[in-house]
Amino acid sequence: MSAAPDGSPDSPVPGPGATTGEEAAWAPSDLDLERRPTVPTGKIITGAVSLLLVVVVLTWGLPWVVGASWSQIGAALAAVPAWAPAAMVLLGLLALALETLTVRAAVTGSRYPSALLGHTASTGMGLALPGGSMLGLGLLGWILRRAGVAVPVIITGILAASLVEMAITSILVPVLGLGAYALSSLVAPTGFTLPGALWAALVAMLGAVIALVLTVIALRRTVLAGLLHQLGGLVPSHLEAAILTQRDSLVRLLRRRPLPLLLPTLAARVVQWAALVLAVEAVGADVPLLLSTAVFALGRVLALVPVTPGGAGIGETVLAAALVALGVAAADAAAAMMLMLVATLVVPLLAGALSIALSATLPAARRGHSVSASSS
């Protein structure tokens, strides 16, 4: 693969099929995707503690915040129509399926079944364990490698999909939510104010914006090469060349497939917003769509606050309080959040557990086509 001649992401880009032996062989020698990632015992213990924390927050925190007992919340749940739980399951599965389209677009040459298996396993790992996102990405890489995809292609794809997730979930969705909140106040003032956790959410969103901006700056070839040069002997020359090669491959992918990368993940967030709208509808409440968008965005950003994996329990409690502030009955607000939890937590966890179990039983693909996958 030829490098960008002027060091800019805007440099002329080779055609989709362009690849060389250098691109297929750049991966660092200490990067091993041939072995299945193992979960340290300490992670299992902290995962159990985190799960207990989620249970504690939902059992005691949720009723206390909304001002309803569990008997009232249970009665509200019992009154929801039969279609509601089934709809939450289907929407949860649809969101995973859409996100997989982004993964498949990012990992050139991958097939949808292996991308789906890897993505659901990775998502489940990230939700089950504190700091499980990195382990989940390792699991995704291992599954794709077993499917015969070349290591450089896997790494490029994971980086691209991660950037898309950051841009949409951590930045675009919160910005749209805040815009919807401001617009709803102008169109039909309700006196509703977002909870105090908004400030924590704004801080988390600001961190994501800063991280994305720094990433974009670092993707300029001249900047990245200069940073590597400043590190001196800390980065071996072969690894420095590998990093620059990776940068070129990543920029080329982002420029070549912007819509296939962005649209599926954006559609998945719309599906999760629809889960919130249907959950509120199922309990018989009425929340304006603009305000439901603001409430959904708050929940997505709260998921960035690393108190529990994926913000589970914390997000639902805060969003239930937001619904109560919008005039939804306390028990109904809590019941709606418990319904939405099926789509955003229960389904991904169960699908992830199933995918992890299946990944250990499926045979590895023949590797004869793994290098050619990088030119697909």
Residue 5 has what pLDDT? 40
Contact 9, 163 (CB under 8 A): no
In whole angstroms, give the CA distance from residue 35 to residue 32.
6
In whole angstroms, give the CA distance from residue 91 to residue 271.
6
In whole angstroms, give the CA distance from residue 369 to residue 154.
14
Q: What does the chain come to in residues?
A: 376
In whole angstroms, give the CA distance from residue 343 to residue 339.
7
Contact 346, 92 (CB under 8 A): yes
In whole angstroms, how far apart are CA 33 and each of 22, 141, 154? 19, 6, 10
Q: Which amino acid is at 212?
A: L
Contact 277, 292 (CB under 8 A): yes
In whole angstroms, give the CA distance from residue 176 to residue 181.
9
Residues with Cβ within 8 Å of residue 141, at least 6 apart in sequence: 33, 118, 151, 154, 155, 158
In whole angstroms, give the CA distance from residue 190 to residue 290.
12
Domain spans in the chain, listed from the N-terminal domain onward: 44-363
Structure tokens at 300: 């997505």
Contact 302, 315 (CB under 8 A): yes
Residue 290 has what pLDDT? 84
Angle 186-191-196 (CA atoms, 0-180°, nearest 5)?
Answer: 105
Sequential DSSP letters for 231-259: TGGGS-HHHHHHHHHHHHHHHHHHHH-HH
CA 135, 139, 145, 150: dihedral to nearest 10 degrees?
-40
Contact 161, 202 (CB under 8 A): no
Q: What is the DSSP letter of 171?
A: I
First and final C-alpha spacing in the chain: 14
Cα-trace Rg, the chain: 22
In whole angstroms, give the CA distance from residue 130 to residue 144.
23
SS3 3: coil
pTM: 0.80
SS3 52: helix
Residue 185 has what pLDDT? 65
Tens digits of residue pLDDT in 155-186 = 899 999 988 988 888 778 877 877 777 777 66
Residue carrying the six token digits 């503690």: 49
Name the stretches of the chain with pLDDT < 70: 1-32, 185-208, 228-229, 231-239, 303-311, 365-376
